[in-house]
Each structure stands twice: as C-alpha cells, then as structure tokens.
Amino acid sequence: MIQIHIPTYQTLIDKNDPYTKITVFDIHVNGAYHASVRYSSLCTLHEKLIENFGFRLSGPEFPPKRIWKNLDAKALNERREGLAKYFQGLITIPDVSRHHLIERAFLEYQVSSFSPPLQTTSIQIYLPDGHPIKVDCYSDDSSNVVLKKFCRLMKIEEKNTDFFGLFLAKDREEKSNGMISSVLFDYVCVRWLKNFESPYISLALVNKEIEDEKKQYKILVRRIVWDSAVEEQQLHEDPGSLKLLYLQALNDIQHNFIDLSAKTKEELARLSEQNDFKKFMQICHKHPSYGFEVLESVISDYPAENTKCCVMYKNSVFILSC
C-alpha cells in the first residue's frame, strides 16, 4: 500500500518569472519527500482522471478552486489537508492508483521539482553480493525503464523482468552475522522504487544530506516473487534470472538468514564451487526459512518492554523473532 502525505507547503519564486511568487505543496510518498507541486498542476491531473474514469473516481473530493488566488495561511492549510485526503483516497482504488496517468504525473512532478539536467547519466545498481552494475540511463527514466536496462545487461529474459525490483537500501547497522565485516555485503532494503519515480532522482534526494559515503543509500536489485514454485517454473531456465536468485540466496546463507544444517551447508558449498546454481536453488527451496526478506530490527513491547526483535517478511507474512 502506498501512503501519500502532504505535511507542508511553501512559497517559492517562479522559475520562469523571478518577480512572481508561487505556492507549492510538498508531497511525501511512503515517508519520503517526493516533489513540491503547484495546486494548478494537481488540478490538471484531477481533471484528466475525471475524463478517464468518470463515476469510478470515488472518494474524497478534490479541493475546489477559489475566487481569490491569494489565500491566507488558514485557507492554504485547508487546501493542503484536502489534497492529502484526496490523493490518499485515490490510491485505495486499484485501477486508478496503477494507471499510467498517475504514474506519469508523479514522475513529472518529481523531475520538475528536482530539475536535473536531462542528459545521459549512469547509476550503480548493486547485485545481492555487493557487486555494482553500471547502468546508463536518463535522469528522468522511471524505475521500470531503468530495471529493463539493468536486466538487458544481466541477460535476463524480458518476460522475467517483472520478477525483480529495485530497492533503496542502507547499510545494516547491526550486522546480521554478529560481526562487522568488510567482506560480506549487508544492506537492508528500506523502500521499493516504483514506476512513479526516477531511481536517479530518488537516490540523489535520499543522499542529499548524507556526507559520509559509507552511510549513503544504494540501489539494490532483489526478487519480488516469494513463491518457490514460481521461481522453479519461470526463472530456473533463464541463466540471468537464476544467477540473481543464486546470489541473493548465497548472501542470505552467509548472514544466517536461512536455517541450514552443517551438512546442507557443505552440500551447497560444493554446488556453488561447481556453478550448479539450479541444484543449489532446489535445495534452498526445501527449507521453510528460504525466501524471507530480513528488514530492520525493531523495538517491541512483547514479550517484554524494549525487546529488540528481528522482522522477516514473505508472501504477506511477517515474522517477529525476539
């Protein structure tokens, strides 16, 4: 579920007219700043949605236009709250929230706010083992476009692109293997990059205030299908997809995310040396702990107050291990 909030508004100088001031609303998506957008631009999107969806566009009303353009603080806050309710209501309608009109508009909002030079650039996308892959792209390329370019570099069949996703990730502060290692790549996914944003811009925004390169976020590729049967049926015959699955499983094993016996680890080590990725993955699939995404640790009040717990996710199931 996508969460949209508009916590603030601000007054800026119009880029096209230095003598004109404009009011923009600061849109946050899933807890992260996304863009600052004028009311008129949001109104234009609303009108396009009405034209496309008609009566199906149910939910909170779009804040109406006012006769007086210069609104006071009270009126601006009412408009800000109304816009937040409107867009939060929109995303509860599946065919609306996933429509290209929404995706394209929010991508354009982000690009317009960030104003990057629209030229060829590159971003580093990290494999599960920490190896970076340089992907040439444009600064306004959406997440799906960048993912497809990455998959072509990895020789992943186009039909399998949708089984993977790009994620903003940061260094796991508490190393999962109980030690600080400069060898093992241990990053935790923070946010799944969706098609309404540019990976290049989203990465730049989240790292804007972080001077220490070691603490900066990276873009990781991860599988987004947590069904072993689907993996075996769809991906194991595609060498590029199989290699990505293998690297992610291997990294999980190195961090003790998969509960394996010593004998099984020896067998997997042998298969890894032989580059027999298919048999390696088939063994992993037999273990219930395979495939969980291990998130950041949290503080819980169960079984006791201030208990530190590990959070794991797979197939809409969350496991809290304390």
What are the pLDDT digits (tens) for 60-101? 999 998 877 788 999 999 999 999 999 999 988 888 888 999
Of the residues 89, 114, 139, the one at which a domain ends:
114
Q: Please give the pLDDT value at position 52.
A: 93
Of the residues 224, 242, 259, the one at which a domain ends:
259
161 and 89 fall within a common domain: no
In a domain, 273, yes or no: no
Residues 34 and 51: their CA atoms lie apart, in Å, by 26
Check which CATH number belongs to the domain holding 62 and give it. 3.30.1520.10
151 and 71 fall within a common domain: no
136 and 12 fall within a common domain: no
SS3 label, residue 48: helix
CA-wise closest residue to 150 among 161, 159, 139 = 161
Residue 108 is encoded by which pair of tokens? Answer: 């354009």
147: left (phi over 0), alpha (psi -120 to 50) or beta: alpha
Q: Please give the pLDDT value at position 58.
A: 82
149 and 252 fall within a common domain: yes
100 and 167 fall within a common domain: no
Residues 167 and 222: their CA atoms lie apart, in Å, by 7
Low-confidence ranges of the chain (pLDDT < 70): 1, 174-183
In the chain, which residue ranges form alpha helices assigned H by DSSP?
39-53, 73-90, 94-97, 100-114, 143-153, 199-206, 228-230, 239-254, 262-273, 277-285
- The answer to whether 7 touches 31, Cβ cutoff 8 Å, is no
66 and 164 fall within a common domain: no
Q: Please give the pLDDT value at position 181.
A: 45
Q: Please give the pLDDT value at position 1.
A: 64
Q: Please give the pLDDT value at position 179.
A: 42
Residues 242 and 136: their CA atoms lie apart, in Å, by 23
Q: Please give the pLDDT value at position 175.
A: 58
In a domain, 298, yes or no: no
Residue span of the structural domain in which 201 resides: 120-259
102 and 166 fall within a common domain: no
87 and 153 fall within a common domain: no
In a domain, 192, yes or no: yes
In a domain, 244, yes or no: yes
Residue that the structure tokens 């040439």 belong to: 136
164 and 223 fall within a common domain: yes
Residues 154 and 149: their CA atoms lie apart, in Å, by 9
Per-residue pLDDT tens digits for 21-33: 999 999 999 889 9
CA distances from 122 to 125, 187, 197, 209 (A): 10, 21, 16, 21
Count structural domains, the chain.
2
Upstream peptide bond of 60 is cis (omega within 30 degrees of 0)? no
Q: Please give the pLDDT value at position 177.
A: 46
Check which CATH number belongs to the domain holding 145 and give it. 3.10.20.90
22 and 102 fall within a common domain: yes
In a domain, 225, yes or no: yes
Q: Indicate the pairing of strand 120-126 with strand 218-223.
A: parallel
Of the residues 59, 93, 114, the one at which a domain ends:
114
Residues 159 and 311: their CA atoms lie apart, in Å, by 31
Q: Please give the pLDDT value at position 279.
A: 96
| Distance between start and end Cα atoms, the chain | 26
